[in-house]
């Protein structure tokens, strides 16, 4: 352990001429040492009670060794974390002077993803979820959608066989010229970045699919579903059919949490809204599952669940406006206003913004404002299918209750929805908020943390009298006496 401490101290080398070389080699060396000396059983720090107990000399020696090993390992990981947060391992002058290539951040990401993919391949699902959560930090928006290098070469070879020798020579010269022009336009760097992004995404999805095939009950499943939802716009079309089959199996199994079901639904509709628009897939089961899940999400859930709901509504209804039928839209609008009664104020503002957006997008939704409209059937809110719950037979009475909400921002949103979204008048919301999407409204209030309604510190005399009467009288007598008032 003394030698390990001495080796670890070399990580703080400060000599500018050798610090990069020393630190790099010491990091790798310590890693190899830990791989050799870490035992096969789980290590933990001894408790204070265990330290006070009498023990054999061999046992105490082993306990001290394990404690020192854990402290050394913790220090080593902290150093790696600090180093990983730096964009480069040193300035460009030093890296060139020492013969190193200045590795950019997409390249670092590629190496990390390769290491994680290899780990999952070797040990299977016996990996901590935090390892896969590293993928969530990737910020990849586009990949190379062109043919792979092998296909390009085959296409080029087939195309060249159609021409004569003189024509092939001329085409080759033309390709060389185009290549030089691309280099002058700095398009080569972009192409390299796209190729690296493509390789990163392929390995990420390979890891996700490997976990889904091995064990759908794994503790890694929540991270996998969240990752698929985040990068669903980059999934290759070849995997679409298999993914939909897996999603249906997962949802039907009844073992997913509500958040995991939302991730499955978000991924499925992101695919259908993008490359999978031409696929012949009926998403009715996903609309049904989403409709059932919404009532189980409340203020006691994760704060991010409300944002996930709004993202699902956007990709399921807003972006698929032409594919929506009237009964389904009315049912979802009613369900959004119902959810407003069981969520925190920032989520309520987001749901009300979503309600406003849907009613303005589908004019026939105004029937939900008319309490005296004639319709056949009775509204059945607990019916699983939104198309058959008769949402056209109910009204958005929740908006009137929200006009008396304890928080002023909720009252403003409720009044604006009831006033046909006028930008002026009583209870109007600011012009900036009316331009935001429902998800942006939710994020705005969630980050701003201005939800302090400034409630009165002391109750009024009238409230004190009502509470006193309620305590002194029988509950039924109190209701019969004051119900008319």
Q: What is the C-alpha separation between 285 and 418, in angstroms, rounded?
A: 32
- Distance CA(229)–CA(267), nearest Å, equals 4
Q: For residue 155, what are its two tokens?
A: 């296409």
- In Å, how far from its chain's centre is CA 298? 19
The closest alpha carbon to 433, from 353, 374, 373, 378, belongs to 353
Cα 242 to its chain centre, rounded Å, is 22
Report which of residues 27 and 239 the model is more confident about: 27
pLDDT at 370 over 90: no
Q: Which residues of 423-432 are buried (b: 16+ CB within 10 A; e: fewer)?
A: eeeebbbeee
Q: Please name which of 203, 204, 193, 109 lies closest in space to residue 143, comparing C-alpha atoms.
A: 193
Long-range contacts of the stretch 30-36 (C-beta < 8 A, 24+): 30/4, 30/76, 33/4, 33/7, 34/73, 34/76
pTM of the model: 0.63
pLDDT in tens, 317-339: 999 888 899 999 999 999 999 99
Q: How far apart are CA 16 and CA 297, in angstroms?
A: 56
Q: How many C-beta atoms lie closer than 10 Å to residue 43's C-beta?
A: 12
3-state helix, strand, coil in the chain (%, to 5): 70, 0, 30
The answer, yes or no, to whether residue 197 has pLDDT greater than 90, is no
CA dihedral 71, 74, 75, 79 (to 10 degrees): 170
What's the pLDDT tens digit per position in 420-453?
544 444 557 777 888 889 999 898 888 765 555 5
- What's residue 338's pLDDT? 94
CB of 386 closer than 8 Å to CB of 291? yes
Which whole number is the average pLDDT over 413-417? 88
In the prediction, which pLDDT does 140 show?
A: 81
DSSP annotation string for 137-199: G--------S--HHHHHHHHHHHHTTS-HHHHHHHHHHHHHHHHHHHHTTHHHHHHHHHHHHH
User: Tens digits of per-residue pLDDT, 145-163?
Assistant: 554 444 455 556 666 666 7
Q: Greater confidence, 15 or 385?
A: 385
How many residues are recorded in the chain?
A: 485
pLDDT digits (tens, 9 = 90+) for 260-293: 899 889 888 888 877 777 677 788 999 999 999 9
| Higher per-residue pLDDT: 227 or 91 | 227
Average pLDDT for residues 79-89, to the nearest whole number? 71
pLDDT tens for each residue of 254-263:
888 898 899 8
Residue pair 340/351 in contact by the 8 Å Cβ criterion: yes
Among the residue ranges 16-30, 99-113, 135-149, 316-330, the one predicted with the least confidence is 99-113
DSSP code of 134? G
> Whole-number mean pLDDT of the chain?
79
């Amino acid at each position: 352990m003394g030698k390990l401490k001495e080796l670890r101290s070399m990580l703080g080398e400060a000599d500018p001429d050798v610090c990069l070389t020393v630190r790099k080699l010491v990091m790798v060396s310590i890693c190899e040492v830990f791989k050799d000396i870490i035992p096969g059983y789980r290590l933990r720090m001894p408790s204070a009670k265990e330290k006070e107990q009498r023990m054999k000399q061999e046992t105490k020696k082993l306990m001290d060794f394990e404690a020192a090993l854990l402290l050394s390992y913790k220090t080593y990981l902290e150093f790696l974390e600090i180093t990983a947060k730096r964009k480069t391992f040193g300035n460009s002058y030093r890296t060139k002077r020492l013969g190193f290539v200045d590795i950019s951040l997409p390249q670092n990401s590629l190496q990390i993803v390769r290491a994680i993919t290899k780990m999952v391949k070797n040990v299977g699902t016996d990996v901590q979820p935090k390892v896969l959560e590293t993928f969530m930090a990737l910020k990849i928006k586009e990949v190379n959608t062109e043919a792979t290098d092998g296909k390009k070469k085959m296409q080029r070879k087939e195309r060249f066989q159609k021409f004569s020798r003189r024509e092939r020579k001329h085409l080759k010269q033309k390709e060389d010229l185009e290549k030089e022009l691309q280099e002058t336009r700095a398009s080569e760097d972009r192409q390299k970045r796209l190729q690296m992004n493509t390789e990163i995404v392929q390995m990420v999805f390979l890891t996700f699919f490997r976990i889904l095939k091995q064990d759908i009950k794994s503790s890694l499943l929540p991270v996998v579903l969240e990752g698929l939802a985040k990068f669903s716009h980059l999934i290759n079309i070849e995997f679409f059919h298999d993914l939909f089959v897996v999603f249906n199996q997962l949802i039907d199994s009844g073992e997913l949490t509500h958040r995991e079901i939302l991730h499955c639904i978000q991924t499925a509709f992101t695919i259908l809204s993008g490359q999978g628009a031409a696929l012949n897939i009926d998403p009715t089961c996903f609309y049904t599952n989403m409709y059932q899940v919404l009532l189980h999400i409340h203020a006691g859930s994760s704060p991010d669940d409300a944002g996930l709901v709004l993202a699902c509504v956007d990709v399921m209804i807003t972006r698929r406006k032409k594919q929506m039928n009237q009964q389904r839209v009315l049912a979802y609008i009613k369900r959004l206003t119902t959810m407003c009664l069981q969520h925190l104020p920032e989520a309520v503002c987001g749901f009300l913004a979503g309600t406003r957006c849907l009613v303005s997008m589908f004019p026939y939704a105004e029937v939900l404002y008319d309490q005296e409209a004639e319709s056949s059937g009775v509204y059945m809110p607990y019916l699983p299918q939104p198309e058959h719950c008769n949402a056209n037979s109910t009204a958005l009475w929740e908006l009137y209750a929200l006009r008396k909400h304890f928080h002023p921002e909720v009252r403003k949103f409720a009044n604006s929805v009831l006033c046909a979204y006028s930008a002026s008048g009583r209870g109007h919301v600011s012009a900036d908020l009316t331009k935001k999407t429902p998800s942006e409204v939710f994020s705005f209030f969630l980050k701003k943390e201005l939800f302090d309604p400034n409630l009165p510190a002391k109750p009024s005399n009238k409230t004190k009298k009502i509470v006193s009467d309620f305590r002194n009288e029988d509950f039924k007598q109190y209701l019969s006496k004051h119900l008319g008032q």
